[in-house]
Amino acid sequence: MRFFPPASILLGLAAAPWCVCAPRYPAQPLAVAVHNYAGVPRSVLAPAIEIARRAFHSAGVESQWTLCPPGNCELTENLRDSAPFVELFVMPTLITPPPGASDRRPAGYAMAGPFPHPRAYAFYDVARSAADRTLRPLSLVLGCILIHETGHLFGLTHQRHGAMRSNLDGVDMDNAVRGWAFSSEERKVLREAIGRVQAVRTMARR
C-alpha cells in the first residue's frame, strides 16, 4: 500500500494522546468543542483534531480542542464564558441540506448564528468518500473539513487553493498538514477576527 508523505505524519499523530491543549498565552486561546455524533474512532478523529489545531497554530492562532462524546462535553463553563468558543459537530451524514445548498453534497457547513456560540458541521460519509477519491488518509480529510468550516466561522470565504478550497483536493490537503492551510491574507483575517472576540470577552470580564 502506497503512503503519501502526510500519511507518515498521521501515523505519528495517531499514537499521540488524543486531547490536545495549546499552552496558555496572555490572551485566552480559541476553544473548540468537537462533538462526535458519527461514532468516528478516536484513532481517526484525534489526529484530525491535531491537524486542525496545528493549522491554526501556523496561522498565529492558539487553540484548545476538546473531543466530546455526544451530550457530555468536558469543556468547562468557565472556558465557554471566558474564551472565544465554537462548537463542531461530526455527523454521520447530512439529512436536510442547509438553505441555498447546491446539488453537490457538502462535506460540512458553518453557522455563525442563531446559537449561543458559532457552530459548524462535518459529515463523516462525505469525508470517507473524499478519502477514497483522493487516496488520502481519512484523518487528513476530516481534519481539513474541520479547518475549513472553522475558518468560515471567522469570516474566511472560499478560495482557489488551500484549506478554504470549496472542493477537497489532495494537494491542498497535503499542504494543510505541512502548515500551509491558509494564505498570509487568510491568516491575518483569522487573527483579527479572533482578536476582536478575545477583546470583547476581556472587556466583559472587567
DSSP states of the chain as a string?
----HHHHHHHHHHTS-S-EEPPP-SSPPEEEEEEETT---HHHHHHHHHHHHHHHHHTT--EEEEEE-TT-----HHHHHHS-EEEEEEESS-SSPPTT--SSPPSEEEE-SSSSS-EEEEEHHHHHHHHHHHT--HHHHHHHHHHHHHHHHTT---BSSSTTBSS--HHHHHHHHTT-SS-HHHHHHHHHHHHHHHHHHHHHH-
Structural domain for 119, as ranges: 5-93+110-205
Is 99 part of a structural domain of the chain?
no
Q: How many domains does the chain have?
A: 1
Is 33 part of a structural domain of the chain?
yes
Is 159 part of a structural domain of the chain?
yes
pTM listed for this prediction: 0.82
Is 104 part of a structural domain of the chain?
no
Is 12 part of a structural domain of the chain?
yes
Q: Identify the CATH number of the domain in which residue 74 sits.
A: 3.40.390.10
In this predicted structure, what is the pLDDT of residue 105? 79
Is 105 part of a structural domain of the chain?
no
Residue-wise pLDDT tens for the chain (206 aa)? Answer: 344 455 444 444 444 434 444 444 446 788 999 999 999 999 999 999 999 999 999 999 999 999 988 877 766 555 666 668 899 999 999 887 666 655 567 899 998 766 778 899 999 999 999 999 999 999 999 999 999 999 999 999 999 999 999 888 899 999 999 999 999 999 999 999 988 877 766 655 55
